[in-house]
Amino acid sequence: MSGFKNEVAIIGMGCTKFGELWDTDVKDLIIDACYEAFEDAGVEPKEIEAAWWSSMISGELGRSLAYPLKTDYIPITRVENRCAGAQDAFVNACFSVAAGVYDMVLVCGAEKLKDSGVAAAGVDPTTPYTSRVDSLTVPPTAFAQLAQRYFHHYRIDPVEGKEVLARIAVKNHHNGALTPKAHFHNEITMEQALKAPMVSPPLGLYDCCGVSDGGAAAIITRSDLAKKRRNDFVLVKGFGVSTGHYQAQVRDDWSYVHFEENVRAAKQAYARAGIEDPRKEIDLASVHDCFTITELIICEDLGFSARGKAKDDVIAGTFGLKGELPVNTDGGLKCFGHPVGASGLRMLYEVYKQLQGKAGGRQLENPRTGLIHGVGGTPMESSTAAVIIVGKRD
Amino acid sequence: MVGIVSYGVYIPKWRMPLDLVAKGMSGERPVAGPDEDSVTMAVAAVLDCLKGLDKSRIDGLFFASTTSPFAEKQMATLIAKATDLRESMMTADFGGSLRSGTTALNLAADAVRSGSARQILVVAADCRLGTSGSEHERNGGDGSAAFLVGGQNAALGLESNTSVSNEIFDVWRRSKDTFINSWENRFDLTDGYMKSMREAILALMKKTGLATKDFAKVVLYCPDGRSSTALAKELGFDSKTQLQPPLFGVLGNTGTASPFLLLVQALEGVKSGNSILLASYGNGSDALLLRANEGVEKLRDRSRLKILLHSKRMVPDYLTYLKWRGLLTQKDPRVVYTVTYASAPAIYREKDRILSLYGSQCTACGAVQYPPQRICIKCHAKDTFESIPLFDKKAKIFTSAKDPITGELVGLVNFEGGGRIYCSLTDGDLSEFGIDAAVEMSFRKLELLPSDTTASYFWKAVPLRNGI
């Protein structure tokens, strides 16, 4: 499978503090994330030749990025693919660099969810004119049904299943507590997770990720040009993107216990990166834990655990900071927060920092290859999944 | 003889204990759920009426109600579409009076007699509102009933009828009003109900030459739980053996549907050859003579009234009832669409799949799909589909969940024979919609956002209401 392994390098990244940022506008998030990235890369803003902008509800056109940054009439493409928007924007930006069209490209994602006035992830104001008769999929309901079917399918006792999910929440809260820019910094106990108020059974409060404001940015260039900027740049090894087609609703035989989009995106990414055994070859993964059940299933979809067996790995601590394959070392969506269009770049920021050895109290021991995963949409309506594999230069 | 060939009934699952509105009062009244109205209840009664019947001879549908959700916009068309009747037929709404149901029934019979229609469906439904604490509220009841009028195999012949009109303000509701209004009870009964009912019934007896003893059953609309007994006694009927009790505390005054539902209840014990008197009231009275023919027992046995009266859930409190009727102002927990709203052209072009719940079946591989597709999700054949109605299919729950913001239940429902729908679940708790729970589809009103100006109706899954 053709790709652009080792041809594109990440030379700078930025990420704002995530959280309920009542005094911060989306323009501030863009400026703070991008200028951290400029500084990190040692790149002047005027060197940027093109940009990709990712946002769900915080700015529809490319100008949303140009206005705060005052970019010099460069092309800016807006990408919206919900929670996989930033990964998708990043991959498309990589295309332009790998094709030799641009040498210096900015990718930025930012989101103001908390200005909506509702305690949920808001809604896309561009929802099309339709009959409006079909039931809306509120994310907790779609993922609660995923947990319901998963437990039923693999004959997992709901009490045991709930405990497995709680372990994931406890792990991500532990990691979040070690991450200064994360939305939540509180460690939680199993008891807290299990006794938390129910959101959509079986998912309780700690099974759901944060609704946050935040922004993140990356600067990419051709790898042969990267050396002039820094020595510890990070290389793009492989990518995969897959979009579903409402299979769970329209197919009457869809089992609703996995994301086929994740499986397909991972397969593409592994082929491009030359990875044969992801569990052994990947040193850390930042995955889309919008709900604890999602992280559990993703670990199977990405080939970290066998089907129906991710719970054994969760119980064994495989995905903890000291485990065999640490997952969501920065607290994940659960604790770092989930400003939709920015999350993919936040995940990349964590892996980038880990590969550079700059992850502070949660630093892993010499990781070389990291995986970023995002899945936008819901299993009920189908999704776009994206997997990006990055690694240290040889 | 022209008469009633089939019938169907519907009583909502929800009951309000009368104690909630009048401390210490026993009994209950049916109330429409938050997603029900006269139209959805009418659809349910028509579906019950048509179960197992050939629909090809139906040439018209009349909808009678004082609580049509629209002042201008026919609802018979919607009911016909939701019950999968063809478009090439006569449809009409009757309203303005609680006797509009019997008026529609008489006109349907006249149309069949004249040969202008082979069969006509008449459906009556009401969901009337009394002011808080009023007798109208306590005595009310929501429900519906449908009669199929035809010229052949009529188990209940429509033999004769008389009508009187009476211009009076006794019970009324202006177009702009939410609640029923009425004058002093004694005036209403004396110069309204008793006078008109008496005149219409005496005229019918005179016209048919029948005496009081000739009627096996007397079915009288009753506004209050007492007056039909008083009227029956005055006219010389035996209120114990002949009069159908008005069922207050159980069914309540179901408005336009009331004479129909009481007639269905009165069929208990009716034999072939029996004469039945049916009289309705509302600015006058319609009196009808019905004759039980051969097949009346079979007709009676299709009644689901007993099951529907037995299968019930209590409204938890009065605030819930007020909220369901839109009488309580609360903060809308839903995310408001700032730009768009339900689109009339979108509803129009998709009405087969929305209102008649048609899916598509791939002729290449047989896969049933909802909503209808053009490219088969299983075999990828293009435009090789036939429509398949799904509204009457048995179904089972595949997944279910509760929306934490609105409390609405949603889930995936698998149809027997293939096909799946993602839809709302209603008339039950999440626990009643566990994996593999049996459900059926029910036509319901959707709650729209303030930016919407139309009304939307769609199908939801409900627990089965079988068994006693």
Q: Count CA atoms closer than 13 A to B191's CA, side-chain side.
A: 10
Within-domain flag for B329: no
**Comparing C-alpha atoms, which of B246, B447, B458 is closest to residue B351?**
B458
Residue with tokens 């332009």: A96
A143 φ, ψ (degrees, to nearest 5): -80, -25
Instruction: Please provide residue B309's backbone torsions phi and psi, each rounded to the nearest 5 degrees.
Output: -70, -30
Q: Which of B380, B394, B410 to mutate to test the interface with A (most CBs of A within 10 A)?
A: B410
Range of the domain at A51: 8-116+213-235
Does residue B336 register a pLDDT over 70?
no
Kindly determine whether residue B401 and residue A249, on different chains, have CB atoms separated by under 8 Å.
no
Return the number of other C-beta atoms located less than 10 Å from residue B212's C-beta. 15
DSSP run (H or E) holding B276: strand B275-281
| B100, β-bridge pairs | none
Contact between residue A226 and residue A201 where contact means Cβ atoms under 8 Å apart:
no
- Name the token pair of B1: 């003889």
Q: Are residues B140 and B258 in the same domain?
A: yes
Any residues with CB less than 8 A from the CB of B460 and at least 6 apart, and which? B35, B423, B424, B425, B426, B441, B442, B444
**Within a domain: B422:** yes
Rounded CA separation A19/A183 (Å): 4
The full 3-state SS of B137-158, as one line of letters, equals: HHHECCEEEEEEEECCCCCEEE
SS3 A45: helix
Task: Determine the Cα–Cα distance for residues A365 and B447; give it in Å rounded to an integer.
Answer: 55
Q: How many CB atoms lie within 10 A of CB B306?
A: 12
> Which of the residues B362, B379, B412 would you substitute to probe the A interface, choosing the one with the greatest number of A C-beta atoms within 10 Å?
B412
Work out the number of other CB atoms within 10 angstroms of the CB of residue A224: 10
* From B340, B371, B401, residue closest to A145, measured CB to CB: B401
Q: A83, A208, A290, A335: which is the annotated catalytic residue?
A: A83
Q: Tell me the pairing of strands A382-392 and A369-378.
A: antiparallel
User: Which burial class, exposed, middle or buried, applies to A266 when counting CB atoms under 10 A from its CB (0-12, 13-18, 19+)?
Assistant: buried
Establish if A153 belongs to a structural domain: yes
Q: How far is B256 from chain A (nearest CA, A)?
A: 29
B455 or A345, which is more confident: A345
pLDDT tens sequence across B157-198: 999 999 999 999 999 999 999 999 999 999 999 999 999 999
A275 and A204 together in one domain: yes
Token duo for residue A61: 């056109």
CA distance A337 to A345: 12
SS3 category, B199: helix
> Does B318 share its domain with B348?
no
**In A, which residues are within 8 Å of B423 by CB distance?**
134-135
Domain presence at residue B334: no
Note the pLDDT of residue A326.
Answer: 98
Query: Is there a catalytic annotation at residue A299?
Result: no
Q: What is the DSSP string of A267-316?
A: HHHHHHHT-S-HHHH--EEE---SBHHHHHHHHHHTTSS-TT-HHHHHHH
* A222 lies in the same domain as A241: no
Q: What is the pLDDT of residue A130?
A: 85
Which residue in B335, B396, B402, B448 has the most chain A C-beta atoms within 10 A of its own C-beta, making it the best mutation to test that interface?
B335
Q: Is residue A296 part of a domain?
A: yes
Are B288 and B148 contained in the same domain?
A: yes
Q: Is A122 among the domain residues?
A: no
The residue count for chain B: 468
Domain with A102 in it: what CATH number? 3.40.47.10
What pLDDT score was predicted for residue B261? 98
Are A201 and B424 an interchain contact pair (Cβ–Cβ within 8 Å)? Answer: no
- Residue A83 annotated among the catalytic residues of the structure: yes
Of residues A4, A223, A202, the one with CA closest to residue A104: A223
Query: A100 with A218, same domain?
Result: yes
Q: How confident is the model at residue B467 (pLDDT cuts 50, 70, 90)?
A: low
d(CA A176, CA A166) in angstroms, rounded, equals 15
Any bridge partners for residue B413, and if so which? B397, B421
Question: Is B414 inside a domain boundary?
Answer: yes
* Largest pairwise CA distance in chain B: 73
* Number of domains forming the structure of chain A: 2
pLDDT band at B455 (very low <50, low <70, confident <90, very high): confident
C-alpha dihedral over A244, B424, A333, A220, to 10 degrees?
A: 30
Residues of A in contact with B332 (CB under 8 A): none
Confidence bin at B302 (pLDDT 50/70/90): confident
CATH code of the domain in which B289 resides: 3.40.47.10
Q: Within A42-100, where are the H helices? A: 63-69, 85-98
Instruction: Give the integer Cα–Cα distance in Å for A243 and A376.
Output: 9
Cβ-defined contact of B378 to A131 (cutoff 8 Å) = no
pLDDT of the residue at B338: 54
Which tokens is B296 given? 């009346």
- Identify the bridge partners of residue B28 per DSSP, sorted by sequence position: B17
Residue B80 has pLDDT above 90, yes or no: yes
Please provide the size of chain A in residues. 394
pLDDT of residue A78: 97
pLDDT surpassing 70 at residue B31 = yes
CA distances from B118 to A261, A298, B60, B373 (A): 55, 61, 9, 36
| Same domain (yes/no): A14, A160 | no
Tell me how close the Cα of B336 comes to any Cα of chain A, in angstroms. 8
In a domain, A387, yes or no: yes
Q: Which residues pair with A143 in a beta bridge?
A: none
Q: CA neighbours within 13 Å on the CB side: how many for A360?
A: 11
Q: How many CB atoms lie within 10 A of CB B147?
A: 29
- Cβ contacts of B17 within 8 Å, gap of 6 or more: B27, B28, B314, B315
Structural domain includes residue B93? yes
DSSP bridge partners of B3: B150, B157
- Distance (Å) of CA B219 to CA B96, B201, B233: 22, 11, 13
With contact defined as beta carbons under 8 Å apart, do B50 and B392 qualify? Answer: no
Active-site residue identified among A183, A258, A338, A373: A338
Q: Are residues B282 and B376 in the same domain?
A: no
The nearest alpha carbon in chain B to A247 belongs to: B377
Residue A364 gets the label, from left (phi > 0), alpha (psi -120 to 50) or beta, of beta
Tell if the CB–CB gap between A131 and B342 is shorter than 8 Å: yes
Residue A374 phi/psi, 5-degree rounding, is -140, 150
Helix (H, G, I), strand (E, B) or coil at B219: strand
Looking at the fold, whether B320 and B363 belong to one and the same domain comes out as: no
Q: Per-residue DSSP letters for B318-341?
A: HHHHHHHTT-S-----SPPPSS--
| A251 and A219, same domain (yes or no) | no
Are A131 and B346 inside 8 Å of each other by CB?
Answer: yes
**Would residue B332 count as lying in a domain?**
no
pLDDT greater than 90 at residue B238: yes
Smallest Cα distance from A156 to chain B, Å: 14
Domain finish residue from B293, B324, B355: B324
What local confidence, expressed as pLDDT, does residue A116 receive? 79
Nearest to residue A90, comparing CAs of A101, A72, A77? A77
- Determine the average pLDDT of the residues in B143-164: 97
DSSP-assigned letter for residue A341: G
Q: Is B23 buried (19+), middle (13-18) or exposed (0-12) by CB count in 10 A?
A: exposed
A291, A203 in Cβ contact below 8 A? yes
pLDDT tens sequence across B199-210:
999 999 999 999
Q: Say if B276 falls within a structural domain.
A: yes
Reported as a single tens digit per residue, the pLDDT across B367-425 is 999 999 999 999 999 999 999 999 999 999 999 999 988 899 999 999 999 999 999 99
Mean pLDDT, consecutive 10-residue stretches, chain A (394 aa), reads 91 98 97 98 98 94 97 97 97 97 98 82 66 87 97 98 98 98 97 97 96 97 97 98 97 97 98 98 98 98 98 98 98 97 98 98 98 96 96 92
A18 and A167 in one domain?
no
Q: Quick one: B274 and B361 in the same domain? A: no
pLDDT digits (tens, 9 = 90+) for B355-380: 999 999 999 999 999 999 999 999 99
At residue B468, does pLDDT exceed 60? no
What total number of domains does chain B contain? 2
Torsional sign, CA A158, A161, A162, A163: positive
The Cα-based distances of B431 to A145, B18, B406, B425 in angstroms read 13, 27, 17, 11
pLDDT given for residue A302 in this prediction: 98
Asked whether residue B339 is domain-assigned, the answer is no
Residues A189 and A217 in one domain: no
Q: Residue B445 has what pLDDT? A: 96
Judge contact between B398 and B413, C-beta under 8 A.
yes
Same domain (yes/no): A37, A170: no
Could you give phi then psi for residue A281, rounded to 5 degrees? -90, -20
Give the domain-ending residue among A201, A235, A269.
A235
Give the structural domain span for B309. 3-324
Question: Which residues, other chains included, contact B353 with Cβ-Cβ below 8 Å and sequence gap of 6+?
Answer: B359, B370, B371, B372
Tell me which residue in B337, B377, B423 faces A250 most closely, judged by beta carbons: B377
Q: Which of A261, A286, A281, A259 is nearest to A270 (CA)?
A: A281
Q: Does A190 reside within a domain?
A: yes
The residue-averaged pLDDT of B275-302 equals 95
Residue A358, CB half-sphere, CA atoms under 13 Å: how many? 11
